Structure 1
Amino acid sequence: MKCCRATQNFSLNHTFHFCCTKMLPKMLPDYDPNDNQAGMKLLEDLTTNAYEIQQQVLREILTRNAQTEYLKGFLNGQCDEDCFKKKVPVVNYEDIKPYIERIADGEPSEIISAQPITELLTSSGTSGGQPKMMPSSAEDLNRKTFFYNMLVPVMNKYVEGLDKGKGMYLLFIKPEISTPSGLMARPVLTSYYKSSNFRNRPFNQYNIYTSPDETILCPDSKQSMYCQLLCGLVQRDDVLRVGAVFASAFLRAIKFLEDYWKELCSNIRTGHVSDWITDPGCRSSVSLVLGGRNSELADLIEEQCSGKSWEGIIKNLWPKTKFIEVIVTGSMAQYIPTLDFYSGGLPLVSTMYASSECYFGINFKPLSKPSDVSYTLLPNMAYFEFLLVEKNNGELTQKVHCNGVSDKNCIQASDENEEFQTLDLMEVKLGQYYELVVTTFTGLYRYRVGDILMVTGFHNKAPQFRFVQRRNVVLSIDTDKTNEEDLLKAVTQAKCLIEPLGFLLTEYTGYADTSSIPGHYVLFWELKMKGSNDLPELDAEKMEQCCSKVEENLDSVYRRCRKKDKSIGALEIRVVKHGTFDALMDFCVSEGSSVNQYKTPRCIKSEEARKLLDSKVVGKFFSRKTPFWEPFRMEIN
């Protein structure tokens, strides 16, 4: 197969020459974000020509980057698709980490990308306790802007009148650092909010927020939260939609409002921002929004917030709100009942599927129930491949949970296979499970994202996917993603504190408890004395130290959420009676698990199983201190 050569104009408006005569949309086509009809037509064109656009994307990526050190090592300068799939390996982060670290340390971008790498995006997934770093370029910001603009016509198709008001979206930035090369390493949303693309965004109805940019960009999360809520309350009559990126962040805002509503009402009543708001940008911008005194509004908000129950508080405080926009798929599904309680029956809308590596897909039916949410991958965002997740694969028993509902027939394929047979976007089949593999414009080649997806249907010729879970992630409250290996390491360190006392940890499991805000990790430990099944009186101080030791050995994202963001509560260990995990196995077998293949699940998702474990608890202990955390430091060898 011969390559097609791209033109050398790689700006936002670049064109591309094809091997076929069919005219396809530009990779990042120009269109007016306020023109909903043009936006929907563009989405129809992209999904109708999904196969051709995917081929176009791969050709362009290979043509651009054929001479990079990484690709040249496998392809020797070729840009043939067949060679690419035969010779370029499917990789995990550890495989590409040395290349990215070399760029962070000052070597040229040409190691992996013909385009200059302008920043490194820190993923919430971790490696060795530190965030993963993903390469990004200036063009990548344009790609994200295009993606965000595509959300507008879809929402306008299903919800009328959004141009008549504002969105109260609670958006925040996270810590960032400068690498030895001078490149910034920061979370993907921090990158976008700080970019000129965000600050100079076209002010269509979906870009008009109650929060001034200065409050979003405030580095102090407490001041940022307070000021954004204050602005949202003052402009309550203009608010047509509320939300945050993740459900956990939105609920954290509700908890913050519970703690600070009296002070917020005082600010509205006096027309004066609290003195502890010291950030200059926040003070000046919020003072303008606040205007002057407004006793009537303060009394109204006070009346709503001082009631016995906060059920339906969102609808009561912002009566014109049409929906809540938050991600409620994957691990965020655990927050749906709490959101329903506060929302007053408002629809929960998950609009998009994205990550630090790449922005992937859009929900073409945003008002669908959270359990039915599917995303259509936009074929011009990256080149997509898929690894089949096998069913009923012998002893490889790892249940996949679709939005919290267990699918007993879905078993993840082994990671031990050295060769991976991938499928293209157009080769996936309805009802099958796959792990996503992505090749980006910015230097990731055949990279395993770690997300498990299920094909739910097709929009034109583009498949639609339901997000099922992160590969091997067992616990998650906010942006933390604790996998089975990291949990084992942390528990192993903690049990060393009690082993000198004669205790043995025979089994453990856990779950993410989101019944309160903030949520927290709960671990069930079954302990015994050496040479005996009797469990003597537990030393509360020593068990609390075990809780803290687990937290100290979890990754930096968990520790940041716990210490700085305060979005995760103190870790809890519940000690259970001897024989509890035998009873858990009996329960799982009664639910259909095989005795021969049974392995203790490291995360309990069944409510019945949790109740069984809780009925056996003999002691509950919490961490008494927050774990050590400091902003991400470069550790490049």
Structure 2
Amino acid sequence: METKWYEDGLRMIEELTTNAEQIQDELLRGILSRNAGTEYLRQFLHGQADKQLFKKNVPIVSYEDLKPYIDRITNGETPDILSAEPITGFFMSSGTSGGQPKLMPITADVTKMWAIFRTLYESPVMKHFGDINQSGKRMEFMFAKPEIETPSGLKATAVTTSIFKESGFIAMLPKLYTSPVETIFCPDAEQSSYCQLLFGLIQRDEVVMIGSFFASTVLRAIKFLENHWQEMCSDIKTGRLSHRITDSGCRNAASSIMKPNPVLAELIEDICKCKSWEGILRKVWPKARYVGCICTGVMGQYITELEFYSGGLPLVSALYASSEAYFGINLEPLCKPSDVSYTILPNMAYFEFLPVKNECNESTETNSNNEATEPVDLVNVKLGHCYGLLVTTSTGLYRCKVGDVLMVTGFHNNTPQFQFMERENVILSVDQEKTSEADLFKAVTEAKALLDPIGFILTEYTSYADTSSAPGHYVLFWELKEKEGNHCKEPDTKTMVECCFRMEESLHYTYKIYRKNNIIAPLEIRVVKQGSFEVLMDYYVSKGASFSQYKRPSCIKSKEALKILDSRVTGKFFSPKPPL
């Protein structure tokens, strides 16, 4: 009997996770033996490739510490600064968590690594849903970002764009995806969205998977469909593409796929004109088996709304990766999005874990002073403990902080599994208190439960610490949507005030003490018009953020971004009293 490709992937996962320690040691040995003579490592290792010397002498660094070396490479000074392997280009980070995009050096091996990683993260998914490559097409919303040429002549590109440009990906695109390559590389995001959705509608009977890299992109596509389905149905009925699409590539792609189909147009019209869009994905694409997108971390805020639209389709967060490296995979794709744990793959990079003093569970109390603060290897992490992730790669990152806080939730064979908790240093603070991303998410989750009885869903939120007056206070921007219809009814004041109070009740001990002592003023929720966060996204994209990698910032730092949201506020509500 012929072996399915994903069964080979599953066997590889078992081998990797069983031999994690050996694989990690061999990987580090290989990285050091090749790169010990580079300018950066030479000052710490003196040409040696010894693990203990590496642990003792090579400092733990942030991207900012490595940036001067990377800047020299981008300016053309390439020989042996960070990597002995030739640098072929740079990955750009999304640029929305920590400000400006970071540039990560890459080598020719990165493309090969992605191919392995893709096989590994898709194998558990195929185990549960079958080989979708053989049964239909993926309707994935994909948006390439223009490359930037550095002074060295080397290109900087988003990770996703580099994937889209691969010859192998382009070759398999017509067979496996509903979106033609011309729509992915269309420079106008609105025209690209329109065409990708339109072609997905035309091929609705072939769609077996719906998704994108991030949950926010899937939701943006659904909302775009809400606003434009009538025009798309007209296109399908007549077989002619809307005049709004002026991009020549998109129009050429349409000419090969579009023909008049009034029966299909009428069917989609009947579905989309219903009073409520609950379960719309399953209704429009009845053969879809799951929605694939990252729903962890800051994307967790979108779970409720995605579940509303998905009609029971599983939400699958299959992978954990960043511009620094590929990290881990989800071995249980059918688990609840809030329960996702990622199994770290020991062949992707050399990983270390720096114990984090703040507890990741309910308390914000610090650990014992006697607890080790030195980084530990992958196989030596402890169940229930939290760590900051460090990576060492063959592309020139050595003991570099990724900025993610992870909690150990279990082990698969000899390899730990982690739940993403928060980004480091993404916090609110108006005095001495520190509110983390996880603290904020927990409080918002508690408060938004009050919206359900009045028929509203929280679709987007962000925050900032307003210290323009004393005492300062927390401000939350909320974008709301009615469950039924698409009207502009406002939520009642009583419920919104209660939401403010519920948030304060759900925040940590220090915040509550400061509120009771009037060191912090009452928490405020500002409700903004529908579409405000799309305008915010457009602003960040205009400033260089990647459309397909965009992550809504949990805390707003930009004055211009604050102006955008403040200009669209429809109601302001304050907590009526200090939390108990």
Q: Could you give the per-residue CA deviations for residues 302-356 of structure 1, whole angstroms, max 9, x where no partner exists?
A: 1111111111110110011111111111111111110111111111100000000
What residue number does 2:460 align with?
Answer: 519
| Residue 472 in structure 1 maps to residue 425 in structure 2 | yes
What residue number does 1:193 align with?
Answer: 164
What residue number does 2:332 align with?
Answer: 365
Q: Could you give the per-residue CA deviations for residues 446-504 of structure 1, whole angstroms, max 9, x where no partner exists?
A: 00001111111111111111111111224xxxxxxxx879xx9xxxxxxxxxxxxxxxx
For the residue of structure 1 that corresponds to 2:32, the secondary structure is: helix
RMSD across aligned positions (CA): 3.9
What residue number does 2:226 align with?
Answer: 258
What residue number does 1:538 align with?
Answer: none
- In the TM superposition, 1:128-527 aligns within 5 A as 129-160=99-130, 162=132, 163-200=134-171, 208-290=176-258, 292-391=259-358, 400=360, 407-409=361-363, 421-474=374-427, 519=460, 521-523=462-464, 525=466
Pick from 90, 96, 102: which aligns with 1:120? 90
For the residue of structure 1 that corresponds to 2:122, the secondary structure is: helix
Q: Could you give the per-residue CA deviations for residues 390-428 of structure 1, whole angstroms, max 9, x where no partner exists?
A: 256xxxxxxx4xxxxxx32256789xxxx9611000000
271-280 vs 101-110, which deviates more?
271-280
Pair 1:522–1:462, CA change in 2 (3 A):
closer
Pick from 36, 52, 57: which aligns with 2:27? 57
- CA distance in 2: counterparts of 1:33 and 1:133, whole angstroms: 40
Does structure 1 conserve the Cα–Cα contact (< 8 Å) formed by 2:504 and 2:523?
no
Pair 1:92–1:310, CA change in 2 (3 A):
same
Q: Could you give the per-residue CA deviations for residues 490-542 of structure 1, whole angstroms, max 9, x where no partner exists?
A: xxxxxxxxxxxxxxxxxxxx98999779735355748769xxx9xxxxxxxxx
Higher helix proportion, which one? Answer: 2
- CA distance in 1: counterparts of 2:512 and 2:312, whole angstroms: 45
For the residue of structure 2 that corresponds to 1:245, the secondary structure is: strand
Does structure 2 conserve the Cα–Cα contact (< 8 Å) formed by 1:312 and 1:344?
yes
**How far has the Cα of 1:594 moved from its partner?**
4.8
- CA distance in 1: counterparts of 2:194 and 2:79, whole angstroms: 40
Pair 1:212–1:627, CA change in 2 (3 A):
closer
Does structure 1 conserve the Cα–Cα contact (< 8 Å) formed by 2:61 and 2:401?
yes
- Stretches of structure 1 lacking an aligned partner (at least 5 in a row): 1-31, 393-399, 401-406, 475-482, 489-509, 534-546, 552-579
**How far has the Cα of 1:287 moved from its partner?**
2.4
Does structure 2 conserve the Cα–Cα contact (< 8 Å) formed by 1:585 and 1:598?
no
**How far has the Cα of 1:151 moved from its partner?**
2.7
Pair 1:288–1:33, CA change in 2 (3 A):
farther
Pair 1:618–1:259, CA change in 2 (3 A):
closer
What is the number of equivalent residue pairs in this alignment?
A: 492
Pair 1:33–1:342, CA change in 2 (3 A):
farther
- CA distance in 2: counterparts of 1:224 and 1:283, whole angstroms: 11
For the residue of structure 1 that corresponds to 2:257, the secondary structure is: helix
Structure with more relative contact order (C-alpha pairs < 8 Å, separation 6 or more): 2
Pair 1:69–1:464, CA change in 2 (3 A):
same
For the residue of structure 2 that corresponds to 1:211, the secondary structure is: coil
- In the TM superposition, 1:19-58 aligns within 5 A as 35-58=5-28
TM-score by length of 2: 0.76
- CA distance in 1: counterparts of 2:365 and 2:137, whole angstroms: 44
- CA distance in 1: counterparts of 2:511 and 2:270, whole angstroms: 57
Percent identity over the alignment?
49
For the residue of structure 2 that corresponds to 1:261, the secondary structure is: helix
Pair 1:595–1:344, CA change in 2 (3 A):
closer
Does structure 2 conserve the Cα–Cα contact (< 8 Å) formed by 1:511 and 1:521?
no
- CA distance in 2: counterparts of 1:133 and 1:82, whole angstroms: 29
**How far has the Cα of 1:381 moved from its partner?**
0.3
**How far has the Cα of 1:198 moved from its partner?**
2.5
Does structure 2 conserve the Cα–Cα contact (< 8 Å) formed by 1:242 and 1:325?
yes
Pair 1:449–1:516, CA change in 2 (3 A):
same
For the residue of structure 1 that corresponds to 2:245, the secondary structure is: coil
**How far has the Cα of 1:288 moved from its partner?**
1.6
Q: Which amino acid aligns with 1:441?
A: S
TM-score by length of 1: 0.70
- CA distance in 1: counterparts of 2:503 and 2:295, whole angstroms: 32
**How far has the Cα of 1:246 moved from its partner?**
0.7
- Stretches of structure 2 lacking an aligned partner (at least 5 in a row): 434-442, 449-455, 478-496, 546-580
Pair 1:429–1:343, CA change in 2 (3 A):
same
- CA distance in 2: counterparts of 1:409 and 1:517, whole angstroms: 26
- CA distance in 2: counterparts of 1:332 and 1:39, whole angstroms: 27
